[in-house]
Every structure is written in C-alpha cells, then in structure tokens.
C-alpha cells in the first residue's frame, strides 16, 4: 500500500505502479540491445579515417607507378643527358688546359696531372686561337654515376596532339520558294539587314509633310537580293 | 548526487550514471506506457525505445529543474506510445459534432484509490483512453492533442467527453457494487 498521499487523483494515478516490472532485468536487456551499436559508433570514425588514408595511399602509389607525363617531375635524381651521348664532365669555369674537342666524352686529364700555369694555345672547333692565361687548373667534376649502375630510361615525351576543332557540317535546308523569308533565307545569312526600316511614305502623308513643312523621310533601303528572290524581284519589276 | 550532475554524466555516456537514471524513472515510464498500450510486453519495448531516445538526446537537453526533465522524458515516452498506436492502427477516433463538456467530480475521483482509477482507464477504448491520458494526466491542450493525433480540436474534445462519460458510468457501477458488498 502506498503511504504517500497525493493532492489529487491525477498525481496518484501518475505515481501508481502496476507492478510486474523488473528494472534490473530491463536494464540488462537494454544494454544487450544497445551495446553493439555503441561500440560500432566508437569504432566508426577510426574506420573511416583508415579507409581514407588507404584510398589516398593507393592513389599515390598508382600515380608513381604509371609512366609520367611532361608535367610530372621525376622521382629520383635523373641525369640531364643520358643514353643520347656519353656523359661529359661538368666544368665549373672555362678550361685553361688543352681541350680535346675531337674526343668529346672521354675522360679528361685529372686536375692533379695538369701543370699549373702552363700556357697552351690550341685551336678550338671554331678555328679560333684561345689564349690560355696562367690560372690554376680547373677542377673537373665527373658526373656521379648511379649507385646501382643501372641504366635509366628517359620517358619519351610525345607531343600532345592538338585537337582540331570540329567544324560544323553544313546543313542543306530545302525550303519551298513560298516559304523563303528574306531574313532567314540560308543564302542571306551574311547579308546585313538594317535594324530600322523606314516605311514607304504614303501619298496622304506626303501632303501632311508638305503642310507642316516637314521633310519626307528617306525611302526604305533596298536589301540585296540574291538567288531565287532576285529572280522573283526581277520578274516583278518586269 | 543531484539530478543535474547525473544527467551530465549520462550525456558523457557513463554506464553507471545511465544505469542509475534508468533505475530512477524506468518504472514510472513503464506505468505511463501501460496506460496507453495496455499490453505489458509492448509497454516494456516502448520503455526501451524511449530510453534510447532519452540517452541520445541528453546532449541537446538543457537542464533547468527536475520537474522539467521529468516532463521532457514523459513527452518522449508519450510520443513513442503514439507512434506505436499509429503503427498498430490500434485506435480509431470517431468524429463527433457534439462537443458539450462533461465534467467528472474531482472529489469523487479523489475518494477512489489510484489503482481503481488506473484499472478503469485501462478499460477505456483506445481512442478515448489516448485522449484522456494526454489531456487529464499529461496536461496536453486540445490543440496539441489534435496536432499529435492528426485530428481536429472538436474531435479531441468529444473524445474526452466520451471518455469521461464512460469512466463515470464505470465508477458508478463499481460504487454500487462496493455498496452491495458492504450490505
């Protein structure tokens, strides 16, 4: 029996408990229904982030594996000239020693062998005599060979074919002679049509212009007539 | 621990706090759901669904008073009950033109035990019972009832009148029956 007294029957009915409800069992049932969903919710953002990272990584790998285009930069150090001519040593400044123009590509005399201050005059490829001032022997820098001694292949860059604009095909339009409209006739597309066409002056208007001292408006500009309409016009004139 | 602190912990998804809140109001919510759906198994399922929504919406709920929270929780439960009744097509609301208000003597009802009134309410047809519960016990206005049940205000008033008439008749029968027992 409820010892609590209520002010009115409504409060009493609201507070009345019919019995037969086990709160503990109901809570366990509630947890069983909701727990997997809650766990999934906690894992879901991590799963989404992992999927996104995986997608980005796979895109990056695919891009690296594909043969690159002209716009793409090479991944590792690629020598400027390879497979085309023998590698030439990079010189920091103008050579002062004997330059063997006919044996391009051969290994140059190392700097330690050259005598400093020797004057040598030699004809170059162009035939000019080059004076050799007494300067220290240039440091010849050999290009670095790749560590693996593997040949690198320069990707051939194919010229991008410019897409020629597609010319619209001319459409022949068969029109009955009676349906020809001087404005929309195919033969007259390029004919300029005056925007304002002055209407011909009617006889009664001429009199009114004369009375009021006004000048008659200029006659309407005759359009250029071509083709069929020209022949029709000429027939009319006749 | 006061209710406000408890609600904050429940919003933080603390298991112990949620269990405590469940134990605090679950039975009252069960009693409310039984008044609408009668079947105890259905009422228990509705309590689960209601608490799922309560815990899910606690982050958005702004605590002001304890009574405010209980009213908010009751509204969620009532909505769950109404959705259940709509799904089951359990109540049909007849449209009536006659809308004279019938009053039940409050003193007469106050004399009765809560259990008797509760049982009498459960005997009402579904449509009458829903409107009676919402108006008399939950404090909804006829306009709110009309919106919730998708009926007119006049229909809501007539359903309430019918419910009161029905209850008055039932309670009188019980009174006579009790008097005869005494005699």
| pLDDT value of position A93 | 52
Per-residue pLDDT, averaged over A14-34, amounts to 86
| pLDDT value of position B170 | 80
| pLDDT value of position A12 | 86
* Six token digits for residue A145: 């060979």
Check if B104 contacts A (Cβ < 8 Å): no
| pLDDT value of position A113 | 47
**C-alpha radius of gyration, chain A, whole number:** 48
Smallest CA–CA distance, residue B27 to chain A, in Å, is 7
- Which of B44, B114, B120, B124 to mutate: most A Cβ within 10 Å? B114
Could you give the C-alpha distances from A13 to A47, B37, B107, in angstroms and in order?
49, 16, 15
Rounded to whole angstroms, the Cα distance separating B14 from B9 reads 6
Q: Which of B13, B40, B48 sits opposite A29 (nearest CB)?
A: B48
φ, ψ (nearest 5 deg) of residue B138: -95, -15
| pLDDT value of position A106 | 45
The residue that leads in pLDDT, A104 or A154, is A154
Record: contact A17-B32, CB cut-off 8 A: no
**What does the pLDDT look like over A98-131, one tens digit per residue?**
545 444 444 444 444 444 444 444 444 444 445 5
Per-residue pLDDT, averaged over A191-218, amounts to 60
| pLDDT value of position B165 | 87
What share of chain A in percent tops pLDDT 90?
Answer: 8
Record: contact A27-B109, CB cut-off 8 A: no
| pLDDT value of position B86 | 86
Residues found in chain A:
238
Nearest CA in chain A to B55: A34
Rounded to whole angstroms, the Cα distance separating B102 from B93 reads 18
Check if A3 contacts B (Cβ < 8 Å): no
B45 neighbourhood in chain A, CB within 8 Å: none
- Its pTM stands at 0.50
Check if A18 contacts B (Cβ < 8 Å): yes
Rounded to whole angstroms, the Cα distance separating B45 from B29 reads 11
B136 neighbourhood in chain A, CB within 8 Å: 10
Nearest CA in chain A to B13: A38
Check if B114 contacts A (Cβ < 8 Å): yes
pLDDT averaged over every residue in chain A: 64
Rounded to whole angstroms, the Cα distance separating A144 from A147 reads 9
A33 neighbourhood in chain B, CB within 8 Å: 48, 52
The residue that leads in pLDDT, A84 or A203, is A203
Smallest CA–CA distance, residue B4 to chain A, in Å, is 21
Nearest CA in chain A to B24: A23
The residue that leads in pLDDT, A17 or A219, is A17
Cβ count near B175 (within 10 Å): 14
Per the CB < 8 A criterion, the answer to whether B14 and B36 are in contact is no
Residue spans of beta strands (DSSP E) within chain B:
none
**What does the pLDDT look like over B99-132, one tens digit per residue?**
455 565 666 666 677 888 888 888 888 889 999 9
The residue that leads in pLDDT, A77 or A17, is A17
Rounded to whole angstroms, the Cα distance separating A57 from A51 reads 10
Record: contact B44-A26, CB cut-off 8 A: yes
Per-residue pLDDT, averaged over A20-28, amounts to 88
For B97, which DSSP code? S
Rounded to whole angstroms, the Cα distance separating B27 from A17 reads 7
The three-class DSSP label of residue B136 is: helix
- How does pLDDT run along chain B (183 residues), one tens digit per residue? 789 999 999 999 889 999 999 999 999 999 999 999 988 999 999 999 999 999 999 989 999 999 999 999 999 999 999 999 888 775 555 544 444 555 656 666 666 778 888 888 888 888 899 999 999 999 999 999 999 998 899 999 999 999 988 888 887 777 776 667 666
Q: Which of B26, B31, B110 sits opposite A23 (nearest CB)?
A: B26
Q: What is the 3-state secondary structure (H, E, C) of chain A?
A: CCCCCCCCHHHHHHHCCCCCCCHHHHHHHHHHHHHHHHHHHHHHHHHHHHHHHHHHHHHHHHHHHCCCCCCCCCCCCCCCCCCCCCCCCEECCCCCCCCCCCCCCCCCCCCCCCCCCCCCCEECCCCCEECCCCCCCCCEECCCCCCCCCCCCCCCCCCCCCCCCCCCCCCCCCCCHHHCCCCCCHHHCCCCCCCCCCCCCCHHHHHHHHHCCCCCCCCCCCCCCCHHHHHHHHHHHC
The residue that leads in pLDDT, A3 or B181, is B181
* Six token digits for residue B93: 């609301």
| pLDDT value of position A9 | 84
Nearest CA in chain A to B20: A27
| pLDDT value of position A101 | 46
Rounded to whole angstroms, the Cα distance separating B35 from B81 reads 10
Check if B41 contacts A (Cβ < 8 Å): no
Whether residue A94 is predicted with pLDDT greater than 60 in this model: the reply is: no
Per the CB < 8 A criterion, the answer to whether A6 and A15 are in contact is yes
Record: contact B27-A23, CB cut-off 8 A: yes
**What does the pLDDT look like over A32-74, one tens digit per residue?**
877 655 555 678 888 999 999 999 999 999 999 886 654 555 5
Determine which of A160-174, A191-205, B40-54, B165-179 has the lowest per-residue pLDDT on average. A191-205
Could you give the C-alpha distances from B19 to A24, B8, B32, B57, B111, in angstroms and in order?
9, 13, 20, 16, 37
A17 neighbourhood in chain B, CB within 8 Å: 27-28, 30-31
Whether residue A146 is predicted with pLDDT greater than 90 in this model: the reply is: no
Q: Of A90, A98, A104, which is closest to residue A137 (Cα–Cα)?
A: A98
For B61, which DSSP code? -
Per the CB < 8 A criterion, the answer to whether B29 and B47 are in contact is yes
| pLDDT value of position B54 | 94
């Amino acid at each position: 029996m409820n010892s609590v007294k209520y002010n009115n029957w409504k409060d009493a009915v609201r507070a009345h408990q019919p019995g037969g409800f086990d709160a503990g069992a109901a809570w366990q049932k509630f947890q069983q229904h909701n727990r997997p969903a809650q766990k999934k919710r906690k894992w879901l953002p991590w799963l989404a982030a992992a999927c996104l990272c995986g997608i980005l990584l796979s895109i990056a790998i695919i891009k690296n594996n594909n043969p690159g285009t002209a716009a793409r930069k090479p991944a590792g150090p690629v020598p400027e000239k390879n497979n085309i001519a023998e590698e030439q040593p990079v010189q920091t400044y103008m050579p002062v020693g004997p330059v063997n123009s006919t044996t391009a590509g051969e290994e140059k005399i190392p700097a330690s062998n050259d005598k400093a201050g020797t004057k040598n005059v030699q004809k170059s490829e162009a035939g000019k005599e080059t004076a050799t001032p007494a300067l220290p022997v240039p440091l010849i820098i050999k290009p670095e060979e790749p560590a693996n001694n593997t040949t690198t292949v320069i990707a051939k860059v194919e010229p991008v074919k410019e897409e020629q604009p597609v010319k619209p095909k001319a459409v022949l339009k068969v029109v009955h002679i009676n349906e020809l409209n001087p404005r929309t006739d195919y033969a007259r597309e390029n004919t300029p049509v005056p925007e304002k066409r002055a209407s011909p002056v009617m006889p009664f208007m001429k009199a009114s212009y004369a009375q009021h001292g006004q000048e008659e408006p200029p006659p309407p500009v005759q359009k250029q007539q071509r083709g069929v309409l020209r022949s029709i016009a000429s027939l009319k004139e006749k | 621990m006061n209710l406000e602190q408890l609600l904050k912990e429940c919003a933080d998804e603390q298991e112990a706090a949620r269990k405590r809140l469940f134990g605090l109001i679950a039975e009252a919510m069960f009693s409310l759901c039984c008044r609408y759906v009668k079947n105890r198994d259905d009422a228990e399922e509705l309590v689960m669904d209601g608490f799922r929504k309560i815990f899910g919406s606690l982050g958005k709920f702004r605590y002001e008073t304890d009574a405010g929270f209980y009213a908010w929780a009751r509204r969620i439960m009532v909505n769950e009950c109404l959705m259940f009744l709509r799904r089951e097509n359990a109540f049909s609301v007849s449209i009536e033109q006659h809308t004279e208000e019938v009053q039940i003597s409050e003193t007469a009802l106050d004399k009765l035990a809560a259990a008797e009134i509760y049982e009498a309410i459960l005997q009402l047809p579904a449509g009458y019972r829903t409107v009676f519960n919402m108006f008399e016990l939950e404090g909804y206005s006829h306009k709110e009832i009309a919106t919730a049940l998708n009926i007119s205000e006049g229909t809501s008033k007539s359903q309430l009148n019918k419910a009161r008439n029905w209850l008055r008749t039932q309670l009188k029968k019980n009174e006579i029956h009790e008097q005869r027992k005494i005699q």
